[in-house]
Amino acid sequence: MIQFLNLLFRNRLAGLGAGMLVLILLIALITPVLPLPDPNITATADRFMSPFSEGHLLGTDHLGRDLLSRLLSGTRLSLAVGVAAALIATVIGSSIGIVAGFLGGRTDNIIMRLVDMLMAFPYILLALAIVAALGPGLNNALIAVAAVNVPFFARNIRGVTVGLANKEFVDAARLNGMSNGQIIFSEILPNVLPVIVIAMSTTIGWMILETAGLSFLGLGSQPPQADLGSMLGEARAALITFPHTSVVPGIMIFLIVMSINLLGDGVRDAIDPRLKSGALSRPLPATIVERKEVPPTPDKDLLSLQELRTEFHVGERVYKAVGGVSLKVNKGECLGIIGESGSGKSVTALSVMGLVASPPGKIVGGTVSFQGKDLVGASYNELRSLRGDRVAYIFQDPLSTLHPLYTVGDQLIEAMQAHRSVPQKDAQARAVELLEAVRIPNAAQRVKNYPHEMSGGMRQRVSIAMALANEPDVIIADEPTTALDVTVQAQILSLLNDLRRERDLAIVFITHDFGVVAQLCDRVAVMYAGQIVEEGPTAAILDDPQHPYTKRLMACVPELGGGKRELHAIAGLPPAVDQLPQGCAFAARCEFAQEVCRQGGIMLEPKGERAVRCLFPVNADQIEVTL
């Protein structure tokens, strides 16, 4: 509760709304004891006195009644009626929803059909029909407004209840011999309550507005009693000659509804966990760059990263996802980046073209050079012209990475037309060619398919075709085969390998699978906690892993046919990248770690073609894996 209030008031606007509302409520409460004239006493001689007249702070209305006094009593009435309508609608609607959702089956079916029927009406129209039947009057207006809101509550609360009714704790309660009524009150209601509160806080403003509206139409409160709506309705006749009689109650309704809306938004944000910690911010077109130190001069290689640092800033916390990575890849070469999830390999790959989601991501140091040009400092337009043209990506899980509403053909054509003007006809022909190049059978038909009409392997081929569309120099493949089954995986890998040979492509291949690395990559870099711990030619590293982490990672790979070797999971978890230890990040899980490993940074020591970041590198036969 305290946490909820903290969250609520951290939101300044919600605080403002709450303040305004409390003030209005207080004034409404103390109105009867204020020294004000009777709101219903007429004095036709004093008609339409302007505001700030003597004895009438806000002036008088068309019957000479004191406007301030009428405003305050009208506010009391409007608030009371609106809140009453909201409470009635909430209680009845939620009860119906809970019963329907909990009992399910036929009861649910009949109730929900009826609710659907009622929701087929335009909202205010139904209220008018009910008032027509019951006759004009404030009580009837209240009933009408409450009644038209019941279906809204019933449907929302039913939805939540259905989700809860099948949960284990409800089954457990049933096994304990609790009756349906007991389960509803002790298990369901407490869980549904937040939703009820959200629904009520977002609709109570509407209900005040609607009752005021019915009164405005002359269907609600009847003279001489007046709520804000009927005050406005009565003043309308004199709108042009004496506008203050309309403006005064109008502004009051506006203030009430606005304060409730502000508070309601605050309540919703505070309760809805999805909105906490700014999770709903959208990524910018390119990652924010804030390099503090002078970046290294760009390299002449095809693609090279030097001391690249990428961080995520979430609230006070800083996650150092990539902590100074240097890599290079040349024409026709395949570089593998391997590591556990969370090791920073994907963020490294996305940093190349500024695709790290930002906020919260930020590139804070280093360079990425492509043919001698620094991409980290490049403008968005320069980046965009290289993206997909010279450096293309293939992502994991093509169901979520392909646009669901465009045909694969259109997505391929778009990839081409983003960089050069290709006549539609040629682009279509080329799209078919591309699908054929990635060995999709019946390509001419397949271009017209939507992603959801294809299998996972086919979709992955489409994303490869899309990466090839502009004959790029580099392809960055981020776990492109992880979501696929083994046979399809093998096909995709050999396809990529063939394409590399045919087109002299450079490939950066990100994976957590040493088997894949062995099959495809010339060189491999092993990442741990945002840093490269070992790097070198694939064969050399596979034969003789020198970093204890590499060795342990390889021990996790099952070997076909061997059958004798035991599989060894690595004990412990990688460190959280917002709390990196001093010294070696792997020390806590390493059986060879010594005191010195936990002090100061450890450099990536080059040794010929290889490099290792370890004070006590292991030799091939040195460790007997023990459990």
Partner 1 sequence: MAAYILKRLISAIPVLFGITLIVFLIMAMIPGDPATAILGAYATPENVAKINRDLGLDAPLFQRYFIWLGNLFTGDLGRSYSLNRPVLHEIIERFHATLVLAGSSFVLCAVFGILAGVVSAARQYGWADKAITFTVLIGISIPSFFLGMVMILVFAVRLRWFPVSGMYAIYGGGDILDLLRHLIMPALALAAVATGVVARMSRSAMLEVLRQDYIRTARAKGVKERKVILGHALSSAMVNIIPVLGIQAGFVLSGAVYIEMVFQWPGIGRMLVDAILKRDILLVQGGVVFVAACYVLFNIVVDVVQSLLDPRIKS
Binders in 389-418 for partner 1, by CB under 8 A: 389, 392-393, 395, 397, 400-406, 414-415, 418
CB of 156 to partner 1, least distance (A): 14
Burial group, residue 83, by CB count within 10 angstroms (0-12, 13-18, 19+):
middle
CB of 71 to partner 1, least distance (A): 14
CB of 365 to partner 1, least distance (A): 23
CA distances to 102, 103, 188 from 107, in Å: 10, 7, 18
Q: Which is nearer to partner 1, 50 or 619 (CB)?
A: 50
Token pair for residue 381?
């337009």
Token pair for residue 68?
């301030």
d(C-alpha 257, C-alpha 205), whole Å: 5
d(C-alpha 368, C-alpha 377), whole Å: 9
Binding-site member from 5, 22, 132, 603 for partner 1 (CB under 8 A): 132
User: Of 218-237, which residues contact partner 1 (CB under 8 A)?
Assistant: 218-219, 232, 236
Token pair for residue 249?
């109650």
CB of 283 to partner 1, least distance (A): 7
Burial group, residue 54, by CB count within 10 angstroms (0-12, 13-18, 19+):
exposed
Is residue 272 close enough to count as binding partner 1 by CB under 8 A? no
Which residue do the tokens 């390119």 mark? 286
Binding mask 445-474 for partner 1 (x = CB under 8 A): -----x-xx---------x--x--x-----
Is residue 205 close enough to count as binding partner 1 by CB under 8 A? yes
Q: Provide the pairing of β-strand 474-478 with 506-511.
A: parallel
Q: Which is nearer to partner 1, 212 or 553 (CB)?
A: 212
Stretch of 67-75, 154-162, 244-252, 363-371 contacting partner 1, by CB under 8 A: 244-252
CB of 246 to partner 1, least distance (A): 5
Contact 153, 197 (CB under 8 A): no
CB of 470 to partner 1, least distance (A): 8
Contact 86, 94 (CB under 8 A): no
Helix (H) or strand (E) run with residue 85 in it: helix 67-103
Contact 164, 191 (CB under 8 A): yes
Q: Which is nearer to partner 1, 30 or 239 (CB)?
A: 239
d(C-alpha 228, C-alpha 251), whole Å: 10
Token pair for residue 506?
């450079």
Q: Which is nearer to partner 1, 111 or 209 (CB)?
A: 209
Is residue 14 close enough to count as binding partner 1 by CB under 8 A? no
Binding mask 278-297 for partner 1 (x = CB under 8 A): --xxxx-x------------
Is residue 432 close enough to count as binding partner 1 by CB under 8 A? no
Q: Which is nearer to partner 1, 431 or 590 (CB)?
A: 431
Q: At what angle do helices 12-30 and 2-10 cross, to 10 degrees?
A: 100
Is residue 240 close enough to count as binding partner 1 by CB under 8 A? yes
Contact 465, 475 (CB under 8 A): no
User: Of 38-67, which residues contact partner 1 (CB under 8 A)?
Assistant: none
Q: Which is nearer to partner 1, 1 or 240 (CB)?
A: 240
- At 313 the three-state DSSP class reads strand
Stretch of 333-341, 379-387, 430-438, 507-515 contacting partner 1, by CB under 8 A: 379-387
Ramachandran area for residue 247 (φ above 0: left; ψ -120 to 50: alpha; else beta) = alpha
d(C-alpha 627, C-alpha 625), whole Å: 7
Q: Which is nearer to partner 1, 80 or 118 (CB)?
A: 118
Is residue 125 close enough to count as binding partner 1 by CB under 8 A? yes
Q: Which is nearer to partner 1, 23 or 132 (CB)?
A: 132
Is residue 185 close enough to count as binding partner 1 by CB under 8 A? no
Stretch of 208-216, 315-323, 424-432, 490-498 contacting partner 1, by CB under 8 A: 208-216
Is residue 116 close enough to count as binding partner 1 by CB under 8 A? yes
Q: CA-based Rg of the chain, rounded to a whole angstrom?
A: 34
User: Of 304-363, which residues contact partner 1 (CB under 8 A)?
Assistant: 353, 355, 357
Residue by residue, DSSP assigns 481-520 as TTTS-HHHHHHHHHHHHHHHHHHT-EEEEEES-HHHHHHH
Is residue 100 close enough to count as binding partner 1 by CB under 8 A? no
Binding-site member from 55, 135, 558, 563 for partner 1 (CB under 8 A): 135
Token pair for residue 182?
């007991």
Q: Which is nearer to partner 1, 465 or 533 (CB)?
A: 465
